[in-house]
């Protein structure tokens, strides 16, 4: 008896595919050029339109910025007079792809612009952001010319590209060089340079991610929050969590400071998140081991306290070289996406290169 087959996934409309191509080409072209198109497009895109676009681009609401670029791409694909005040067919798929494209180029973005401003309706111009609504209305007019739409699209993409952070690309790792000693040397360099807790939190998160990945167990993932975001504001049980579905299986609090600073809220964290235990990973011990254990025994909950270096090194020891490569790659991603300081990312890249952990092809 033939096996049942899954229904074929619908292909995105052709216009969506072409819109992706326009967005990718324009963003990458603008990234390669120092010009943002302000002067070149001023004669075609009037100052009132530019002012509205600028207001959208500089807004903290990145969904409107990303949606604007996407809608203008569709206006070019579908032609003058296209009503871009409504989400175009295939737009959700383009929005998810666009978020990944911008993130790849170190540009802050949302995962899906339409998830935030067009989740339950195709209508985008709803009075929530007048500059956005007016710009979409301008673009939808049959009075527009293709030259105007193209100029505005270039201006938008140029402005977006200009926000790219000067982050060095992730190096291609030489897996054969990733011995226990070499990776621990890399971590030591990171821990020796003050980072406001970024190196500690994200290295442990990256190593745990690699451990879970290496086990091959399905359905588990390691999440970590933005640097300096509180557990309450991010609605997490700790700085790092292992999650299965929607349930938090385990949680870690990571600090570059004394572990005792994390004791006050530990019991509440365990109770509120239905945990059986909580682990504190600290860069500073501050007290003898016997005193530490006595303090922990006096608690009403199961708390573990680990030194960040010893814990990290033990995780490295349990990873294959492939797993260590995955951990370093994940560390790069976390430093790039979850904290604002470009130099922290670039310092990691420089340390990897200095220790000779890059592929020879990337380090002639």
For range 48-77, the mean pLDDT: 96
pLDDT in tens, 88-107: 999 999 999 999 999 888 89
Residue 359 DSSP label: -
Give 134-191 pLDDT, tens digit per residue. 999 999 999 999 999 999 999 999 999 999 989 998 999 999 999 999 999 999 999 9
Beta bridge partners of 168: none
Tally helices (H) and strands (E) across the chain: 16, 5
To 5 degrees, how large is the angle CA 258–CA 259–CA 264? 115
Per-residue pLDDT, 41: 42
Query: pLDDT category, 33, cuts 50, 70, 90?
Result: confident
pLDDT at 15: 94
Q: Where are the domains of the chain?
A: 14-161, 175-362
pLDDT surpassing 60 at residue 233: no
Look at the block and give the residue holding tokens 């971590």. Answer: 187
> Is 39 a residue whose pLDDT tops 70?
no
This prediction's pTM: 0.72
- Confidence (pLDDT) at 35: 40
Q: How many angstroms separate the Cα of 349 from the Cα of each of 170, 277, 316?
A: 7, 35, 19
- What is the reported pLDDT for 297? 94
Confidence of residue 258 (pLDDT cuts 50, 70, 90): confident
Six-digit token pair at 282? 């600290």
Range from 14-28, 176-190, 226-240, 261-275 carrying the lowest mean pLDDT = 226-240
What's the rounded Cα separation, in Å, for the pair 74 and 67?
11
Q: Give the containing element (helix H, strand E) for 221.
A: strand 220-224
What is the predicted pLDDT for the residue at 116?
87
Per-residue pLDDT at 234: 57
- Secondary-structure breakdown of the chain: helix, strand, coil percentages, each rounded to the nearest 5: 55, 10, 35
Residue 38 pLDDT class (50, 70, 90 cuts): very low
Mean of pLDDT values over 34-58: 72
Residue whose entry in the numeric block shows the structure tokens 């897996």 = 175
pLDDT digits (tens, 9 = 90+) for 303-357: 999 999 999 999 999 999 999 999 999 999 999 988 989 999 999 999 999 999 9
pLDDT of res. 40:
41
Span 274-300, mean pLDDT?
89
Q: What is the per-residue pLDDT for 236?
A: 79
Which has more pLDDT, 182 or 271? 182
Reading the block at residue 310, the tokens are: 């010893």
Q: With a cut of 80, say whether residue 274 has pLDDT above it.
A: yes
Which residue is associated with the tokens 């604007």? 68
Compute CA 59 distance to the chain's CA centroid, rounded to the nearest angstrom: 19
Is the Cβ–Cβ distance between 80 and 145 less than 8 Å? yes
pLDDT given at position 342 = 93
- 288-298 residue pLDDT tens: 889 999 999 99
């Amino acid at each position: 008896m033939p096996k049942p087959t899954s229904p074929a996934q619908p292909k995105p409309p052709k216009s969506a595919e072409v819109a992706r191509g326009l967005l990718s080409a324009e963003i990458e072209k603008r990234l390669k050029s120092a010009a943002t198109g302000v002067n070149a497009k001023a004669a075609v895109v009037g100052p009132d339109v530019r002012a509205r676009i600028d207001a959208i681009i500089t807004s903290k609401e990145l969904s409107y910025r990303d949606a604007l670029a996407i809608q203008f791409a569709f206006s070019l694909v579908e032609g003058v007079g296209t009503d871009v005040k409504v989400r175009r067919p295939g737009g959700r798929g383009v929005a998810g792809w666009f978020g990944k494209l911008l993130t790849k180029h170190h540009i802050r973005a949302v995962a899906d612009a339409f998830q935030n401003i067009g989740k339950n309706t195709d209508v985008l111009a709803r009075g929530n952001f007048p500059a956005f609504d007016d710009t979409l209305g301008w673009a939808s007019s049959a009075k527009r010319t293709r030259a105007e739409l193209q100029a505005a699209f270039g201006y938008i993409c140029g402005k977006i590209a200009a926000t790219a952070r000067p982050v060095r690309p992730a190096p291609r790792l030489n897996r054969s060089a990733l011995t226990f000693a070499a990776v621990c040397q890399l971590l030591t360099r990171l821990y020796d340079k003050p980072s406001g807790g970024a190196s500690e939190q994200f290295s442990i998160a990256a190593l745990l991610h690699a451990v879970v990945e290496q086990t091959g167990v399905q359905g588990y993932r390691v999440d970590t929050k933005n640097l300096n975001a509180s557990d309450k504001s991010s609605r997490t049980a700790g700085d790092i969590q292992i999650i299965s579905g929607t349930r938090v299986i385990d949680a870690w609090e990571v600090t570059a400071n004394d572990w005792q600073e994390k004791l006050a809220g530990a019991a509440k964290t365990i109770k509120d998140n239905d945990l059986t235990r909580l682990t504190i990973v600290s860069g500073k011990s501050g007290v003898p081991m016997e005193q530490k254990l006595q303090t922990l025994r006096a608690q009403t909950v199961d708390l573990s306290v680990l030194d960040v270096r010893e814990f990290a090194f033990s995780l490295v020891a349990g990873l294959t070289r492939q797993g260590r490569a995955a951990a370093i790659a994940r560390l790069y991603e976390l430093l790039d996406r979850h904290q604002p300081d470009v130099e922290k990312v670039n310092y990691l890249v420089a340390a990897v290169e200095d220790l000779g952990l890059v592929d020879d092809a990337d380090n002639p």
